[in-house]
Structure 1
Amino acid sequence: MSKVFSSAAEAVADIGSGATLAVGGFGLCGIPDALIEAIAATASTGLEVFSNNCGVDDHGLGILLSQGRIRRVTASYVGENKEFARQYLSGELEVELTPQGTLAERLRAGGVGIPAFYTPAGVSTPVADGGIPWKYSTDGSTVEIASPPKETREFNGRTYVLEEGIRADFALVHAKLGDTAGNLVFEKSAMNFNPLAAMAGTITIAQVENLVEPGEIDPGAVHLPGIFVQRIVHTGPQDKRIEKLTVSDAEGARQ
């Protein structure tokens, strides 16, 4: 059966309400924007997302967020999205914040069948001790759901905290180059989280800028083997967005 789908809409058609999604990208670099926009055109809601960040107000995952499609987010950075902050503080959105490296390893662990692992990141902080607000009440005055304490254990005189691997129903990723067998090549910072998110998905959907036949990619250049990818959409060149624009006046003063 061919892995190539004719459109992003066809590739995401069975992502229903309540699905869990591992989404690649870093800031606005390497995000699967065409796949996200295709989901936005469906009626799916109550989605749970695992991603480094949640886009910006009008782009990437921020589109689904602004439409009220996302129920819960596990992320490490959310500072560029005002709507994200508003929904979280008003009790509309459940949020699990986790250290960035821990999130990356949780995705990788889920992808290779490791249910949990120990890490020193977060020991002796609320990450391990619990109490981080996951969800506020709708009036924003009280914490409705707080993070539970996690198991800790000592190895060679040092304390570590147990973190669980992540598996998602679907993974959405963006690649610079892919072949019809699903082998992918990512460009520069798009390597951040895209391969890991792809590994964590039960069904991984890749949008690729350039699509070639098997054998046309040097095996040594493959970043993610096709065994992790079930669906491919050829979307062409990506519209590059600047996450934060900084300019200078004639005298070099920052604006």
Structure 2
Amino acid sequence: MIDKISVSLQAAVSDIQDGAAVMIGGFGDAGIPSALIDALIAQGARDLTIINNNAGNGDTGLAALLKARRVRKIICSFPRQTDSHVFDALYRAGEIELELTPQGNLAERIRAAGAGIGGFFSPTGYGTLLAEGKETRCIDGKHYVLESPIHADVALIKALRGDRWGNLVYRKAARNFGPIMAMAAKCTIAQVSEVVALGELDPEHIITPGIFVQRVVAQEQAK
């Protein structure tokens, strides 16, 4: 019997290794798997490479992971919003490495990893510092930069509901990066607001099929 439900948040993240590449879903505060991030902080993995759209808000969630000095490098598109003071302080002190990737390129690099694409040419970033060291090409008179896929060891994502097979549905904008991250990681762990019985999810509404999800954990489960 297929049953991907984890007994607890801590059990779900227990085998994340030091040095792992971890994708974390979310767009600002929307869709951030905060409970899984807190469990990862308690678990203690270090020297992580984090792939996320931004670099944390305030002092909670991803910002708390950064503040705990668990992250060696972050790949993101928007690292310096008004309340990203934790990242800002670490970066200015030389304690964290940043790989800045324009948002569209970030999403496509993650999608490419999940789709098995070896790379793609994008016009975004051509002629800027973001293109340094990368192959460029002129196609039909327009200049492009070769971008590589982003793979991860683990993806931490948030969904609204999931079943024991790992099928997921999302709530509105909280969907954001979750579906493509689930496809790009070796192990996808989904934090859900509710675990439902098989058959309760409308097949037409399932966004992430269970084949891309290895673990499902309810947000309210004991740590």
* CA distance in 2 between partners of 1:198 and 1:89 (Å): 32
How far apart are residue 195 of structure 1 and its match? 1.2
AA aligned opposite 1:98: T
Deviation at 1:214, TM superposition (A): 2.2
Q: Give the Cα–Cα distance (whole angstroms) in 1 for the partners of residues 50 and 138 of structure 2.
A: 32
Q: Give the superposition deviation at 1:236.
A: 4.4
Deviations 1:53-106 (A, max 9, x none): 122232111111001000000000122311101111111000011100100011
Structure 2: how far apart are the matches of 1:54 and 1:125?
22
Report the equivalent of 1:103.
106
Q: Contact 2:56–2:87 at 8 Å: present in 1 too? A: no
Number of residues of Structure 1 aligned to a counterpart in Structure 2: 218
Equivalent position amino acid for 1:183 in 2? N
Q: Which residue of 2 aligns with 1:233?
A: 217
2:90 alignment partner AA:
Q
Report 1:49-198 matches (<5 A): 49-78=50-79, 79=81, 80-128=83-131, 130=132, 149-198=133-182
Match of 1:25 in 2: 26
Equivalent pairs: percent with the same residue? 48
Query: Which one is further off, 9-18 or 153-162?
Result: 153-162
Q: Give the match's secondary structure for 2:43.
A: coil
Contact 1:57–1:66, Cα closer than 8 Å, also in 2? no
Q: Distance in 1 between matches of 2:152 and 2:8?
A: 22
- Tell me which residue corresponds to 2:16: 15
Tell me if structure 2 keeps the 8 A contact 1:54–1:60. no
- Please tell me whether the aligned partners of residues 208 and 233 of structure 1 are also in contact (alpha carbons under 8 angstroms): yes
2: CA distance, partners of 1:188 / 1:164: 29
1:127 and 1:94 map into 2 onto residues whose CA distance is 15
Structure 2 CA distance, aligned partners of 1:76 and 1:101? Answer: 9
User: Please, which runs of 5 or more residues in structure 2 have no aligned partner?
Assistant: none
TM-score computed with the length of structure 1 as normaliser = 0.83
Question: Which structure has the larger Rg?
Answer: 1
RMSD between superposed Cα atoms in Å: 1.3
| Matching of residues 212-227 of structure 1 within 5 Å | 212-227=196-211
In structure 1, what is the Cα distance between the partners aligned to 2:175 and 2:100? 21
